[in-house]
Amino acid sequence: MNNDPKIIVALDFAVSSSALALAERLDPAACRLKVGKELFTAAGLVVLERLMRLGFEVFLDLKFHDIPNTTAQACKAAAELGVWMLNVHALGGRRMLQAAADAIANTGQHPKLIAVTLLTSMAQEDLADIGIAESPAQLVVRLATLARDCGLDGVVCSAQEASLLRANLGKAFCLVTPGIRPALASLDDQSRVMTPQAALLAGSSYLVIGRPITRAADPLQALRAINLEIGNIEIGVQA
Ligand code: C5P
């Protein structure tokens, strides 16, 4: 089994019992888990610790965005929980990003610190509303470059942006992409989706996948089927 599974299963649940029941049906050797704002706000540390005790590495998706000192302290606290990955908003700026990276380096833990560039829910007109004239693609490259220059390990981005970012930011930069749908899966509320293979070929490092696995009749079988499908793909190689 791959010791660096590419799939991060999004545990988008409102209560810990549902999240834990699903986790118990998965395999820590075959995926990581993402705990976001809903589950963390509802179930906090208890669920995080129980997931880690089941053997899973956890991406704590809380997207910190605050003044540098507050963000740094939040990142330090998250690192000390033992999470595998955590994130901040790149729009917090250079000093905030550097403070976050420094805070984590000083903990002795080595979680991956990644940045959200521009939320994929933001379109050109939303940028205009907040006074940004650049196109979303230009802004995403600018913010990802800033994150890399501040010592972050990577960014969360749309799979549609992965090849552009891979070309601009090099092989080592970590690209975490949601909006993934196996060829025959329901789109749910996602619109611009990519298949797991296409996303990896475009340069994604890790795939965030929720409902195609969490709502499957057999979540482990769905996870294994996707892992089988992507088994031979070399990360970041252009199609
Ligand atoms: O169920 P589904 O595969 O659509 O879940 C995708 C996960 O990725 C959810 O947790 C969602 O919040 C997250 N996400 C996303 N699009 C973004 C950023 C995060 O779908 N741009």
Domains and CATH numbers, the chain: 7-230 (3.20.20.70)
pLDDT for res 165: 98
pLDDT of residue 131 exceeding 70, the answer is yes
CA 215 from chain centre, in angstroms, equals: 19
Higher-confidence residue: 50 or 238?
A: 50
Query: Which residue of 7, 180, 208 sits with most ligand 1 atoms within 8 Å of its CB, as the best mutation to test the pocket?
Result: 208
The answer on pLDDT for 199 being more than 80 is: yes
Q: 239 pLDDT exceeds 70?
A: no
| CA 55 / ligand 1 centre spacing (Å) | 23
Task: Answer yes or no: are the C-beta atoms of 11 and 31 closer than 8 Å.
Answer: no
CA of residue 91 relative to chain centroid, distance: 17
**Given 63, 76, 112, 171, which residue is catalytic?**
63
> What pLDDT is stored for residue 120 in this prediction?
85
DSSP bridge pairs for 33: 9, 58
Confidence of residue 134 (pLDDT cuts 50, 70, 90): very high
Closest by CA to 147, choosing from 103, 183, 94, is 94
User: Residues of 144-164 as b/e, b for ≥16 C-beta within 10 angstroms?
Assistant: bbbbbebebbbbbbbbbbbbb
pLDDT digits (tens, 9 = 90+) for 140-164: 999 999 999 999 999 999 999 999 9
* pLDDT band at residue 3 using 50, 70 and 90 as cut-offs: confident
Q: Residue 207 to residues 73, 107, 123, 177: CA-CA distances in angstroms?
A: 28, 27, 22, 5
In angstroms, the CA 40 to CA 44 distance is 4
**Which atom of ligand 1 is the closest one to the Cα of 188?**
4
Asked if pLDDT for residue 227 goes beyond 90, the answer is yes
Q: Is the pLDDT of residue 237 over 80?
A: no
From the CA of 66, how far away is ligand 1's center (Å)? Answer: 22
What mean pLDDT comes out for the span 177-193? 89
User: d(Cα 10, Cα 50) in Å, to the nearest integer?
Assistant: 16
What's the confidence (pLDDT) of residue 230?
94
- Annotated active-site residue 63? The verdict is yes
Evaluated on CA atoms 162, 4, 189, 128, the torsion sign reads negative
pTM: 0.94
The token pair at 174 is 């970590």
Strand partners, 75: none
Tokens standing for residue 7: 């799939």
- Segment among 34-38, 57-61, 121-125, 212-216 with least mean pLDDT: 121-125
pLDDT number for residue 238: 42
Instruction: Please give all residues whose beta carbon lies within 6 A of any atom in ligand 1, as ranges.
Output: 10, 12, 36, 119-120, 178-179, 188, 190, 208-211
Residue nearest to ligand 1 atom 14, measured at CA: 178
Q: Is beta strand 32-36 parallel, antiparallel or unpaired with respect to 154-156?
A: unpaired
Which pLDDT value is given to residue 12? 97
Give the position, in ligand 1's atom list, of the atom nearest the Cα of 34: 10
pLDDT number for residue 121: 87
- Average pLDDT, rounded, for the chain: 94
In the chain, the largest separation of any two C-alpha atoms, in whole Å, equals: 48
**Res 233: pLDDT:** 66
pLDDT, greater one: 3 or 204: 204
- 238 exposure class (CB count in 10 Å sphere: 0-12, 13-18, 19+): exposed
CA–centroid distance, 77 to ligand 1, in Å, is 24
DSSP 148-191: HHTT--EEE--HHHHHHHHHHH-TTSEEEE--B--TTS--TT--
Beta-ladder partners of 156: 116, 176
Q: Output the residue whose Cα is nearest ligand 1's atom 10.
A: 10
pLDDT at 44: 86
What does the pLDDT average to over 198-223?
97
List, for residues 15-32, the tens digit of each pLDDT value.
999 999 999 999 999 999
How far, in Å, are 3, 117, 208 from residue 189 at the CA level?
A: 31, 21, 15
Phi and psi for 82 in degrees, rounded to 5? Answer: 90, 25
